[in-house]
A and B are shown apart, each in its own frame.
Chain A
Amino acid sequence: MNAATLSGELVVSGLRKWYHRRDQAPVHVLEDCSFRIEPGKLTVVMGTSGCGKSTLAYILSGYIKPDEGQVQMDGQPVQGPGPDRIMVFQETALWPWMTVTENIVFGPLARKSVSRKEVTQKALELLRKFGLSEFKDKYPGQLSGGMKRRAELAQALINSPKVMVLDEPFRGLDVMTRELMQEYYIKLFEETRLTTVFITSELEEAIFLADRILIMGNAPSRIVSSLEVDLPRPRTFDVLASERYLEIKKEALEVLFSESMQQAD
């Protein structure tokens, strides 16, 4: 990999966020949340459900604004959503009224960055790569969960983003499909070294995928701990049986356990 082309550094500093709802006390979600996403690395953000992981992802993607603090992407403050940071949502966000191909070519055509012919060509290549050639003219409702996820990856990648934000993308898939998708994503990542923020609540998934794991505390939350995952790449499921994997898992469990003890207090 050519280190010079790597970009997609995210520096997050001092995020604070409240949700204000009418007739209700404001909900304090993030408090002094700061961290750095290294370019070309796969960073997993872990935390229990309801700790503000999705909120964080929405702020990184520019969909919502923090009350305080800021996100910088390659030195520039993030002002709103853009094709350099693309998010894959918890639930599928493919538009059900467009075919798979129409979904994929939407971005480049919307920005008028290339001709329809060129973009369709590129879409077909991606579909072939993701094993979806047969389904190019199907509607998302006709795809299985795993296929939808792959289609969404294609929909994102065609825009050559600098950062991918994946918010518990494999939640709701059955175990088999989930493992396949993890393997899929790890291959894709190792091939492209596309800066990735991967949000999950599953420790095994986190360790298997990550270069680094950031652990979020309870709401109002911040990053309470950072773990380097120095398992070798390219990774296969064999690493799950290695000594080092177990050590990392033990270390992570200790952090998670002490966090949940604090919540119990």
Chain B
Amino acid sequence: MLKEGAMKAVEASVNNSVVDPLKWHRRLPKLNWRGGFAVGAFLIAWHFLVLLKAPGFKEISSPVEVLQTFINQYLGNPNYWNSWVASFKRVIYGFVLAQVLGIPLGLLLGTRDTFHKLVYPVIEILRPIPPLAWVPISILFWPTTELSIIFITFIGAFFIIVINVHDAVRNIKKEHYWLALSLGASSGQVFRRIMVPSVIPSIAVGMTLGIAVTWNVVIAAEMIASDSGLGRLTWEGYVSHTVPVVIIGMISIGLAGYLSTIVVDYAEKKMMPWRTTR
């Protein structure tokens, strides 16, 4: 909401030089205090619910307890940070592979009719299968657990990006395409300068959805099949009945997802300079 309000104010002025300071000035301080307030209120509410032993909160640790456990046992613990690295590696491999294979496949499906007729039904059958349903087959197929987790993560983002790019190619404005033909562009030029840029916004949407799904899938897959990663950490906390660890795991996953979203958002802005310079 805030973002939108600021964007509209910015749109009103065409002058570019005014845009940036204005945006920062408006967005940062406001977001900080409201957001900070909400996080603080959440922590306080949580703390008191635990203190008062509210229904359901009997076995939950308080935020103070969680923080103590974190500082004493995890902050300086290389195993904890290795969990971060393990999960991030899987997400990055799965996500990047999904983009690298999914974008060209989506473009091909959208532009080549015969290819579309041949391949699209297969995709439509495989797409509804939830990534986690791939776990057993994946473990049987791939030689290592690591590879099977990466594969499952890849599946999570792959179909999303394929479908997004495919739809975008099919919905290119005919005027954009025709104009290029009128001006004498070759089919290669049309592909590079018209098709590809016009699907970039959909690639961005695919990336935003893809990174979220990738984190979902990687955590679940780690709980089921792995002996490392943030998902595993959380699960072990549960199995060993150490509740603060479960919560540390959850918050770490939340932060990791948030960090990835920031990186993806940044990449998207770089991909679409015409969307951000308004």
Residues of A within 8 A of B (CB): 61-63, 80-83, 85-87, 89, 91, 93, 95-98, 106-107, 110-111, 138-142, 159
Contact = CB atoms under 8 A, between A and B. Distances in A.
Contact of B183 (A89, A97, A98, A107): A107
Contacts of B14: 138, 142
B274 A63 contact: no
Contact of B186 (A63, A96, A97, A110): A110
Nearest to B179: A93
A62 B179 CA distance: 11
Contacts of B136: none
Contact of B200 (A83, A87, A97, A138): A97
Contact of A86 (B176, B182, B194, B197): B182
Interface string B102-116: 000000000000000
30 contacts: A61-B178, A62-B182, A63-B174, A63-B178, A63-B181, A81-B178, A83-B183, A87-B182, A89-B175, A91-B175, A93-B173, A93-B175, A93-B176, A93-B178, A93-B179, A95-B197, A95-B198, A96-B274, A98-B193, A106-B183, A106-B185, A110-B184, A110-B186, A138-B277, A139-B273, A139-B277, A141-B278, A142-B14, A142-B277, A142-B278
Contacts of B175: 89, 91, 93
B189 A110 contact: yes
Interface string B159-182: 000000000000001111011111
B253 to A, nearest CB: 35
A82 B182 contact: yes
Interface residues of B, number: 27
A110 B178 contact: no
Nearest to A84: B182
Given A139-B274, A141-B278, A95 B182 contact: no
Interface of B: 14, 16, 173-176, 178-186, 189, 193-194, 197-198, 200, 272-275, 277-278
A83 B185 CA distance: 10
A95 B189 CA distance: 14
A106 B182 contact: no
A111 B184 contact: yes
Contacts of B183: 83, 86, 106-107, 110-111, 159
B82 to A, nearest CB: 42
**Sorted from nearest, which 10 A-B pairs have the closest CB atoms?**
A107-B183, A93-B175, A97-B197, A139-B274, A111-B184, A110-B185, A81-B181, A81-B182, A89-B175, A93-B179
A63 B183 CA distance: 12
B182 A61 contact: yes
A63 to B, nearest CB: 5
A138 B274 CA distance: 9
A86 B180 CA distance: 10
B109 to A, nearest CB: 20
B193 A106 contact: yes
A11 B176 CA distance: 27
A150 to B, nearest CB: 15
Given A80-B181, A81-B182, A111-B184, A95 B278 contact: no
A86 B273 CA distance: 28
Contacts of A97: 197-198, 200, 272, 274
Given A95-B194, A111-B184, 12 more contacts: A63-B178, A83-B182, A93-B178, A95-B198, A98-B193, A106-B183, A106-B185, A111-B183, A138-B277, A141-B278, A142-B14, A142-B277
A91 B178 CA distance: 13
A176 B259 CA distance: 49
Contact of A95 (B176, B186, B272, B275): B176
B184 A85 contact: no
Most chain B CB atoms below 10 A, which of A87, A89, A110 = A110
